Amino acid sequence: MICAKNLSVRLAGKLIVDALSLTAKAGQVTAIVGPNGSGKTTTMKAISGEIASSGELTINGDDMRKLEPWQLAVRRAVLPQSTTITFPFTVREIVRMGLSTGLNNDAAHAQAIAAAALAAVDLEGFEGRFYQELSGGEQQRVQLARVLTQIWDPVLDGRPCFLMLDEPVSSLDIRHQLTIMQLARNYCLRGGGVIAVMHDLNLTAMFADHMVMMKRGKAIAAGAPADVLTDAAMEEVFGCRMRVSGLPAAGTPFILPQTAVL
Amino acid sequence: MIGHRLRLGAEGDRTGLARLVIAALAVLTVLVLLLSTATGASDASVVDVALSLVSGEPSSVLSQRDRIIVIDIRLPRALLGLVIGAALAVSGVVMQGLFRNPLADPGLIGISSGAALGAVLMIVLGGALPAVFLGLVGAFALPLAAFTGGLVATLLLYRIATRHGQTSIATMLLAGLAIAALANAVTGVLIYVADDRQLRDVTFWSLGSLAGATWPKVVTAGPIILLSLSVLPFLARGLNAITLGEATAFHMGVKVQKLKNIAVVSVAAAIGAAVAVSGGIAFVGIVVPHVLRMVIGPDHRYLLPASALLGGILLLAADMFARTIVAPAELPIGIVTALAGAPFFLWVLLRHRASTGL
């Protein structure tokens, strides 16, 4: 379990995250949603240990701030929004990097994990391609494969590992959005935990077990999607007057991921 | 021998190729070393020199005079060329890795100028230092001063160009330009106040040359360079992670700040020692890593040793060219590397125009 209590982040004198509390349990997809600039990514950076924050922050009961980088690296892995690389790495070389800092030293085993991770993000056969020559969505999936290899086993020594994903589906097509969200759910079914910053509320409703809605650095609401996603919350947080689960006017097509046959 | 274990087949896996290239470069290094000691006015052949070096005794074919030329003049020069070439190329790899940019070269971004300023300060004003201190550091005074200059320039550059773990390439190149200009200006002032003897010392390596190579120089600069370079392979995995960004490297378990500190100090020491004996030699640090990245890929576990070898080979080849093309005179080696390296740099710049945002 990852537990943040009264988490606050101040950047250049400005309070970006304001006394936010969040609990991400193993076996659950926890989503963080909110409008642009509400502090979602900053919250994620604080929880991953990337930036300094005040308040309580624990992973499986251990104070996260007291853990060394390598200790954190075997307990949680982080997918940033985007990663640009100026050197000509192949896809295989990038994915293998996730294994180089973890606990996997057996070359054959590492090879198998790297291949399985690429298959999991639907990039089989991409090993020999150059990262720089891939599309944005493909790059995002390569990075996710790398992140997966870092904590391939969702449970380490009887304690859950956590994937922290900052907008994991932001540049993906609808099919791959579903693939990746299913992958996240699967990781939870196998005993791990997932925290994801999400923009797509339909995917959130579909895949999240628990969600936190943020506005101006504060958690406005938290709970199951069915409880958090209300007409009132949409208007208060996003400033949009709209109806949750309402149907559009007749004749306007709409496509919901919830209808996909998985 | 290496053939049957080589797996070039696995797609996107260049480790087998990298190992093969490193082995080939190691062989080439020995050949170039021999060729370099056999090249020059005296007509001792490569074989004679090799035999003489191995046996340690004057052979019948290699006269006593030739032996002195080979052992006391050409050999220290060749060895110095190898370690300095290695220092320049490896420092290029490390700076490029830290800045996440293939255009960072110690010669271009002011580190060499900083080191040169440190060295000139020592030559011109070092006499004013307490004799106890000079007695203590002895022959290491010049490399030490150059190291300090290079370190200050590197730290200054890093502080200016990096904010929140992101390095602005434009800021880095422009700040490097300014730091180099400032260091050169102060060096100019020092030259103005220098006396004749100091001036000779200063002019000698402001051109960049291996001509002053002697065994004492090999013995002072060599260990410093080899020691600082020997630390860097341990940083290879961390440098790989940093190419994905400093935050991502941290997430992958790398102690980023510690890695940067070790890398910057090692580079400053290697460059300082190199500059102290040979002056500023530009472009080796850009050309070598770039060519190797195209062949074996950017994995620092292989890029670092391969660059060390190719850097040495290239510098030694440039030195052979420099001392034979206008014989009996010789060109400063810095001119040769700039003549070949500058057009190459422009080519890299054009190729990367889109990705560097310049």
Distances (CA, A) of B254 to A94, A120, A237, B318: 16, 26, 38, 38
Please indicate whether residue B212 or residue B229 has the higher confidence score (pLDDT).
B229
Mean pLDDT for all residues in chain B: 83
Mutate to test the interface with A, among B239, B252, B294, B351 (most CBs of A within 10 A): B252
Residue contact B11–A97, C-beta within 8 A:
no
* Mean pLDDT value of segment A153-170: 94
- CB contacts < 8 A, A to B, total 94
Judge residue B56's burial from the number of C-beta atoms within 10 Å of its C-beta, 0-12 exposed, 13-18 middle, 19 or more buried. Answer: exposed
d(CA B13, CA B7): 8
- Pairwise pLDDT comparison (B11 vs B88), residue with the higher score: B88
Tens-digit pLDDT profile for residues B144-183: 888 889 889 988 888 888 776 666 667 877 888 899 899 9
What pLDDT was estimated at residue B204?
A: 65
Token readout for B45 is 């052949």
Q: Which of A92-106, A233-247, B306-320 has the lowest mean pLDDT?
A: A92-106
Q: What is the pLDDT of residue A150?
A: 94
Predicted pLDDT of residue B208: 66
Burial B321-353 (b: 16+ CB within 10 A, else e): bbbeeeeeebbbbbebbbebbeeebeebeeebe
Biggest alpha carbon–alpha carbon distance for chain A? 59
pLDDT for B354 beyond 90: no
Share of residues in chain A with pLDDT > 90 (%)? 83
Average confidence (pLDDT) over A36-58: 95
Predicted local confidence at residue B356, as pLDDT = 46
Q: Decide if pLDDT at A197 tops 50.
A: yes
Average pLDDT, chain A: 93
| Alpha-carbon distances of B322 from A148, A230, B339, rounded to whole Å | 53, 78, 11
Specify the pLDDT at position B4. Answer: 38
Contact B237, B305 (CB under 8 A): no
Nearest chain A residue to B294 by CA distance is A88
Task: Specify whether the CB–CB gap between B90 and B316 falls below 8 A.
Answer: no
**What pLDDT score was predicted for residue A54?**
95
Residue ranges covered by each domain of chain A: 2-75+151-243+252-259
* pLDDT for position B42: 64
Average of per-residue pLDDT across B310-328: 90
Strands of A218-223's sheet in order across:
A76-79, A162-166, A193-197, A29-33, A210-215, A218-223
CA-to-CA separations, B117 to B124, B144, B185, B186, B338, in angstroms, rounded: 10, 12, 9, 7, 20
Q: Out of B10, B244, B252, name the one closest to residue A85 (CB).
A: B244
Spatial distance between the Cα atoms of B169 and B358, rounded to a whole number of angstroms = 8
Q: Give per-residue pLDDT as tens, B190-205.
A: 888 888 888 877 776 6
Q: Nearest 10 degrees: CA dihedral of A55, A59, A65, A70?
A: -160
For B203-219, write each residue's pLDDT tens digit: 766 666 787 788 888 88
CATH number, span A2-75+151-243+252-259: 3.40.50.300
Distance of CA A105 to the CA centre of its chain: 26
pLDDT of residue A115: 93
Contacts of A92 in chain B (CB under 8 A): 10-13
Q: pLDDT tens digits, residue range B7-65? A: 444 677 899 999 999 999 999 999 999 888 887 766 666 666 667 666 666 555 567 77
| Per-residue pLDDT at A24 | 96
Whether A237 has a pLDDT exceeding 90, the answer reads yes
Residue B306 has a pLDDT of 97
List A197's β-bridge partners, or say none.
Answer: A32, A166
Residues in chain A closer than 8 A to B253 (CB atoms): 69-74, 101-102
Is A132 part of the contact surface with chain B (CB cutoff 8 Å)?
A: yes
pLDDT of residue A1 exceeding 90, the answer is yes
The predicted model scores a pTM of: 0.88
Instruction: State how far residue B276 is from chain A, nearest Cα, in angstroms.
Output: 31
Q: At CA B29, angle to CA B25 and CA B32, rounded to 5?
A: 130
Alpha helices in B56-168, H assignment, sequence order: 64-68, 75-99, 111-125, 131-137, 141-161
Distance from CA of B226 to the nearest CA of A (A): 26
pLDDT at A213 over 50: yes
* Residue of chain A with shortest Cα separation from B237: A100
| pLDDT tens, position by position, A77-88 | 999 998 888 899
**Which residues from B are below 8 Å from A114, CB to CB?**
none
Residue B358 has pLDDT above 50, yes or no: no
Cβ pair B251:A50 closer than 8 A = yes
Q: State both tokens at A160.
A: 């859950």
- Closest-CA distance, A47 to chain B, in angstroms, reads 11
Q: CB contact, 8 Å: B244 with chain A?
A: yes
The pLDDT score that the predictor gives to residue A121 is 96
Selected residue with higher pLDDT from A33 and B130? A33
Domains along the sequence of chain B with CATH: 3-356 (1.10.3470.10)
Q: How far is A247 from chain B (nearest CA, A)?
A: 42
Please tell me the distance from the alpha carbon of residue A88 to that of residue B293, in angstroms, as a whole number: 7
Q: In Å, what is the CA distance from A19 to each residue of A10, A162, A220, B205, B358?
A: 11, 22, 11, 60, 41
In this prediction, residue B9 carries a pLDDT of: 45
Tens digits of per-residue pLDDT, B261-283?
899 889 988 998 888 888 878 88
Task: Write down the pLDDT at residue B3.
Answer: 37
Using a CB-CB cut-off of 8 Å, the residues of chain B touching A127 are 10-13
Degrees, nearest 5: CA angle B218-B223-B228: 130
User: pLDDT at residue A23 above 90?
Assistant: yes
Chain CA centroid to CA A85, Å: 21
> CB distance from B12 to chain A under 8 Å?
yes
pLDDT greater than 50 at residue B357: no
**To the nearest whole percent, how much of chain B has pLDDT over 90?**
33
Is A85 within 8 Å of B294 when comparing Cβ atoms? no
Q: Give residue-wise pLDDT tens across range B93-110.
A: 999 998 888 888 887 788
Interface predicted TM-score of the whole assembly (ipTM), two decimals: 0.93
Distance of CA B143 to the CA centre of its chain: 14
- Phi-psi group of B331: left, alpha or beta (phi > 0 → left; psi -120 to 50 → alpha; rest → beta): beta
CB contact under 8 A, A93 and B251: no
Contact status of A156 with chain B (Cβ, < 8 Å): no
